[in-house]
Amino acid sequence: VVQRAERLLVVSDDLGRVAVDQYQAGPARIRVIPNGCDAAIFHPGDRAAARAAFALPVDAEVVLYVGRLVAEKGRRELMDATRLLAPTRPALKVVLVGEGPLQGELAERIAREKINVILAGAQPPAEVARWMAAADLVTLPSYSEGHPNVLVEALACGRPVVTTPVGGIPEVVDAGSGVLVTVRDAEGLSKGLANVLDRRWDEAALASRFSRDWRQVAYDTLAACDQALLQSHAVAAHAR
């Protein structure tokens, strides 16, 4: 299917390379259409008000993860990093928004090790945006990714990120928007989190990095489909 498609739409340059290298896709048929972000929901918000809504201390250091609670997203490494940071950062609070098969394991570990982690469960987009407003940073220490929406949304909310250089993530994150850490490295993750927490970040500058909305994604997708149809019709006409 990949080899015969008139157009192959991917969300990152990295996935385009994967399609060529592993599935023998024709490079000329690939179109990269990055994900968008709903600016009506994800935009800078009042941190103090958001923390009050969630009963978080004003002076807390809030690290937020949003996504499935699965090992491949670096959940265990994040727990290890939290434990490493706890002795020197008593104000640290890690919030996990989402559900998944590791939920029971994480809850048991939080209770056993008495680490300051909040399991907030799955939340609708508006609540995710409010959690981002409450946070100091958003982290996604994944083993693999495409073009993660959560990082785009975090930056749109003016929040720096700590993540891994996998898949299309380096196309979204650079030194001006966060820190990239080694995959499956809890100590490196703890240092990356501390680095970002210790720096001052320009909320407005971070938020301005992504102004691409889903309407533009739709337009780009339509254009790619129109182009494929025109090319197909031209080939068919030539054959006649």
The per-residue pLDDT for range 45-67, each reduced to its tens digit, is 999 999 999 999 999 999 999 99
Q: Could you report the per-residue pLDDT of 69-91, keeping only the tens digit for each? A: 999 999 999 999 999 999 999 99
Backbone torsions φ then ψ of 186, nearest 5 degrees: -65, -40
Q: Can you tell me the mean pLDDT for 139-144? A: 97
Model pLDDT, residue 220: 97
Give the rounded percent of residues in the chain with a pLDDT score beyond 90: 93
pLDDT at 236 over 90: no
Per-residue H/E/C for the chain: CCCCCCCEEECCHHHHHHHHHHHCCCHHHEEECCCCCCCCCCCCCCHHHHHHHCCCCCCCEEEEEECCCCHHHCHHHHHHHHHHHCCCCCCEEEEEECCCCCHHHHHHHHHHHCCCEEEEECCCHHHHHHHHHHCCEEEECCCCCCCCHHHHHHHHCCCCEEECCCCCHHHCCCCCCEEECCCCCHHHHHHHHHHHHHCCCCHHHHHCCCCCCHHHHHHHHHHHHHHHHHHHHHHHHHHC
In this prediction, residue 2 has a pLDDT band, given cuts at 50, 70 and 90, of very high
In this prediction, residue 210 has a pLDDT band, given cuts at 50, 70 and 90, of confident
d(CA 113, CA 106): 10
d(CA 182, CA 201): 22
In this prediction, residue 212 has a pLDDT band, given cuts at 50, 70 and 90, of confident
Model pLDDT, residue 233: 80
b/e sequence 43-74, b meaning 16+ C-beta within 10 Å: bbbebeebbeebebeeebbbbbbbbebbeebb
Nearest by Cα to 128 from 96, 163, 161: 96
Arithmetic mean of pLDDT over the chain: 95
pLDDT at 114 over 80: yes
pLDDT at 160 over 80: yes
